[in-house]
């Protein structure tokens, strides 16, 4: 049963990364609130770190490097989420809404 | 150290230890896919954040299968424990009750299918790229355990490590300033 050997194969992890990335892109387009777009952007970052981890486990001579890059991506994602939520709160105070269609002051 | 390349030997039977590991891996991947699907498609934002937490829990399992228990723990701590909770707090503070279900009302009738087809094409293209390419495998030199990660963080990547801590500090201060502005 070849299905049970999937975890030892690089392409499995690449497909998981591609799946997360496409879910992120789909959510970015479809979601109409800022929070929904924030959630989708986390998926895109997670896809990148999955690829880093997979390549460092299977092909890289130094497997620690991919893990370090994934750690950096996690730190960046945490900082990005904190900033985004605080911007969201500031926007909500001014507009009483977090829908992207309402934030059109610069539209002219 | 575990094997470097994919094992191409005989497939394990269902009840051997390797078979059970394979089943657990399939369950982990199912958790990732289900969580991502819920997070992107649910109508209520709170459910989207719960799906995000489920997906990242599964992703921690995937990192465990990639021989990095340390990263799996960090994934649980940072993403499931901090980022998801932070977004949940954001929903509680910035969403009135009646607005919680408007997240999915699409802009026009075309937006949903168009987005689905575009992201489906992206998925197909990236998967084909991963499947068809002959990835060059280099002989492994480092151990890749937590000791190697710590040594590399404090020697080769020390500068980036310092920079990332400055970024985090700036993010804390910036978040405080932004959220405090306009408070009465």
Q: Which residue has the tokens 């896809």?
A: A47
**Cα–Cα distance, A87 to A6 (Å, whole number):** 42
Domain limits for position B151: 145-184
DSSP A99: B
Same domain for B153 and B83?
no
Residue B25: burial class (beta carbons within 10 Å; 0-12, 13-18, 19+) = buried
Q: Residue A8 belongs to a domain with what CATH number?
A: 1.10.287.3510
- Print pLDDT tens along chain B (184 aa): 344 444 445 567 777 888 888 899 999 999 999 999 999 988 888 999 999 999 999 999 999 999 999 999 999 999 999 999 999 998 888 876 555 455 445 466 777 888 899 999 999 999 999 889 888 888 888 888 889 999 999 999 999 999 999 999 999 999 999 888 766 6
Q: Do A93 and B183 touch (CB under 8 A)?
A: yes
| Number of domains, chain A | 1
Residue A105 lies in a domain: no
Per the CB < 8 A criterion, the answer to whether A23 and A43 are in contact is yes
Distance CA A65, CA A72 (A): 11
Q: Which tokens is B82 given?
A: 């901090």
Per the domain annotation, does B115 fall within a domain? no
Cα angle B36-A14-B33, degrees, rounded to a multiple of 5: 20
- Domain assignment present for B113: no
- What value of ipTM does the predicted structure carry? 0.90
Q: Number of folded domains in chain B?
A: 2
Query: Is residue B83 in some structural domain?
Result: yes
In a domain, B135, yes or no: no
Is residue A30 in a domain?
A: yes
Q: Find tokens 């920079």 and name the residue.
A: B163
Distance in Å, alpha carbon of B161 to nearest chain A alpha carbon: 8
Task: Tell me which residue in B66, B83, B148 faces A57 most closely, judged by beta carbons.
Answer: B66
Tell which of B101, B135, B164 closes a domain.
B101
- Distance CA(A70)–CA(B65), nearest Å, equals 15
Residues B28 and B92 in one domain: yes
Are B79 and B150 within one domain? no
**Residue B176 structure tokens:** 């405080």
- Put simply, whether B110 touches A (Cβ < 8 Å) is no
In a domain, A14, yes or no: yes
Structural domain range at position A18: 2-99
Is B67 a member of any domain?
yes
**A96 vs chain B: nearest CA distance in angstroms?**
8
């Amino acid at each position: 049963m070849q299905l049970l050997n999937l975890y030892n194969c690089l392409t499995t992890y690449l497909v998981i990364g591609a799946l997360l990335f496409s879910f992120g892109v789909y959510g970015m387009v479809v979601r109409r609130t800022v929070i929904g777009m924030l959630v989708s952007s986390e998926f895109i970052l997670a896809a990148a770190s999955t690829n880093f981890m997979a390549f460092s486990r299977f092909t890289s001579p130094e497997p620690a490097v991919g893990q370090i890059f994934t750690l950096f991506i996690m730190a960046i994602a945490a900082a990005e989420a904190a900033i985004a939520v605080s911007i969201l709160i500031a926007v909500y105070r001014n507009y009483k809404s977090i829908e992207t269609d309402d934030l059109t002051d610069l539209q002219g | 150290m575990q094997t470097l390349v994919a094992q191409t030997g005989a497939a394990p039977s269902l009840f051997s230890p390797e078979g059970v590991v394979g089943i657990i891996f399939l369950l982990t991947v199912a958790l990732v896919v289900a969580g991502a699907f819920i997070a992107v498609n649910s109508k209520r934002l709170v459910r989207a954040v719960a799906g995000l937490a489920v997906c990242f829990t599964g992703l921690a399992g995937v990192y465990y299968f990639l021989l990095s228990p340390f990263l799996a723990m960090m994934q649980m701590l940072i993403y499931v424990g901090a980022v998801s909770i932070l977004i949940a707090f954001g929903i509680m503070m910035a969403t009135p009750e009646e607005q919680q279900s408007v997240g999915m009302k699409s802009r026009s009738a075309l937006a949903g299918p168009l987005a689905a087809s575009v992201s489906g094409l992206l998925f197909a293209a990236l998967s084909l790229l991963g499947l068809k390419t002959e990835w060059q495998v280099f002989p492994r030199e480092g151990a890749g355990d937590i000791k190697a990660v710590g040594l590399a963080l404090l020697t080769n990547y020390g500068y980036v490590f310092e920079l990332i801590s400055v970024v985090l500090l700036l993010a804390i201060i910036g978040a405080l300033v932004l959220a405090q502005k306009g408070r009465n």
